[in-house]
Structure 1
Amino acid sequence: MMNFKTGLLSLLVFCGACSQVAQKEDIVKDSFDFAGQQLKFAFTTIDSVRVKQIEAGSKKKLVSPRTIDDDGSFKMVASKDWTSGFFPGELWYMYEYTKDDYWKSKAQEFTANIEDQKTNGGTHDMGFKMYCSFGNGYRLTQNTAYKNILLESATTLITRYKPTIGCIRSWDHSRDKWQCPVIIDNMMNLELLYWAFKETGDSVYYDIATNHARTTIKNHFRDDYSSYHVIDYDTINGEVLHKHTHQGYNHESAWGRGQAWGLYGYTMCYRETKLPEFLTQAENIADYIFTNPTLPDDMVTYWDFNAPNIPNEPRDASAAAVMACALYELSMYNVEKATQYKQWADTIINNLSKNYRAPLNGNYGFILLHSTGAHNFERDAPLVYADYYFLEALLKKEKLEKEGTAIL
């Protein structure tokens, strides 16, 4: 009898320990709990910055966090900055996960701050700014005002389309260097156009997005499916003038986040069009990334696959988070590789969660550390878009495991 009781007690203790381990391994819940605490801490930092602005008599309106500068200071940006939509997007993701109206209210507050960008025809980053903020807001609330803002944003974006080239122009700066630069990042802004097509039935949005994606396949990618960062086109005849990698190690290197933009972009394009060429492109990019000899074991990529001092080079958690988002969705479209794609994504998310998080109530409320903006700025720093895509990947992971779809 004593042995039975002892055995039963041991079994109960063991089961309790198993339960605790299982609870600890709920990475999605743990990460969102942590993110909630960090974002609340970020609000206090944001408030203090605004108070200092008022005291200094500054008229510049700073709306969203971006990073921590080299001098250790907290950097916020105005609505025109390409990163201004990510922080409100994070707040919408917090609302989506928690269903707590506190986060809805905060998301609405920060989203409203960038409405003025809906008519900013001087930027190609309309998707990053408006779809990550108003787009998530509309998806979660069906607010008609948000829908109208998004449609106006899409209409503004297509004014940058160059029919002779078949692409949406990216930057307007550095005209002494490029005639019509198109960057791989621009693939991410096409989702806004596909959304506008579905909402309006106007094929102009679909055609521009699809033409841009096809032209990018033709000119941005090397034979091994790595991509250049910037393709410069002749504005008269549409011919390629230069192939550059502006934010990577050198022009022939594979900039880490550039590869991530391509992977996510073509996965999304396949979802929206069901054109096999886009699925094939996404799969080939995935193969390049995840069979690359310089990809570290934790699958959190270095800032450039060809950086000269690997393994003593900065990582880019933002690129890894974007890759994970894409992989969760890509696993839906290829039965044979589904398990492999999800395992790669899970490896990234597990490692970001365990080894790349900021200290609680530290680093001004950013969630992840160790991202890299480019070869000469924001090296090994927190970046707001790393946090945004980390939360998106967590939501996609949970939805895929519970519902069989990673589409939010």
Structure 2
Amino acid sequence: MTSKITRRGALAAAAAAGLGVPVAGTAARAAQPALGRRGEGVRIATYNASLNRATAGQLLKDLESGTDAQIRAVAQVIQMNNPDVLLVNEFDFDEEGRGADLFRSNYLEVSQNGCTPVHYPYVYSAPVNTGVPSGLDLDRDGTVGGANDAWGFGEFPGQYGMLLLSRFPILTEQVRTFQNLLWKDMPSNLLPTEFYGEEISAQLRLSSKSHWDVPVQIGTSTLHVLCAHPTPPSFDGPEKRNRRRNNDEIRLWADYLRAGKVSRWIVDDAGVAGGLDTSASFVILGDHNSDPLDGDSWPGAIDQLLKHPRIQDPRPTSTGAVEAATEQGGVNLEHGTDPRYDTADFAENPRPGNLRVDYVLPSKNLKVTDARVFWPKKGEAGSELTGEHPFPTSDHRLVRVDLRITGR
């Protein structure tokens, strides 16, 4: 049986790690980047920065050095885009919160190649399911143990974690996490019970990492930042367990935004049931590993959000993605999604091609003033930070949306 993390326990861990509270030093807003001013708007971004490492503790060592080339390049991308609220996917979690502190002090708050440093006085992170042993044979290979038998694929607990950085206060006491929510509890789920068997199916967690509802105070308004990183819909067999899980991880937020019975099945790690108030403002962030038309997703998976009645799709674009798709050719030329919306350059072989998988999706009661994918064309500023495989930063691109928040 799995243990249940209570909200009190999660908050105590966050407090011990200094998460979601101001840190020592200036909280002043950094100067605006060369990408353009945005008046009194708020810039929200998501970035799968590939700040994961093969062994536990290695990321901390790289962060301590202050000289790691990949982390410096990631920090420069963030400095050039200068978001006010940023979700970083694939940032290895550590219980003490040292990684977040070192990332800020040794990289983000240090000029990278002449860029203006950025300061985030508020941070939130929490445990994730990746690498946490289940004690069960989840991949049905006859043995127990290893990355495939963790609640979420990972070589060690916390690998591929999440980190939320903010210039605005995080209302830590109001955060809701859904790390332990069971897949079977979702009505009409796609759980392949025949593959797992009844005993395992009864214990499987829905979220491959975690799902977080993190309220951020912006002036007199509260913005609910909904963070997640659903599993890739691949690396499975004919049972399509990862495709099914990806779909249902995405569906969790779709149900969470609906009132009454539809969201009643959702119970957070503190035992509180139900979804988000229908009047709340929110933005969904993360690498959802799902393109609307291409790749291996379960049919209609990301449309559960893109076509949701409470969500608007700003459709961020870039010119670099179009250039890359044209130059790489191959399956990119067969894709249904317009390449200007692509957010990731997947270099696997065989290649799935470039896909739109990273999203910033605001509620319809917010005004969008700009939306972009940071994917410069060759020769443009920052193009050396995206590049080609092996990438100097990540195979994903930072996605950002500028919003006007009532009450700011």
- The TM-score, its normalising length taken from structure 2, stands at 0.30
More relative contact order, 1 or 2 (CA 8 Å, 6+ apart): 2
Q: Highest Rg: 1 or 2?
A: 1
- The TM-score, its normalising length taken from structure 1, stands at 0.30
Richer in strand (by share): 2
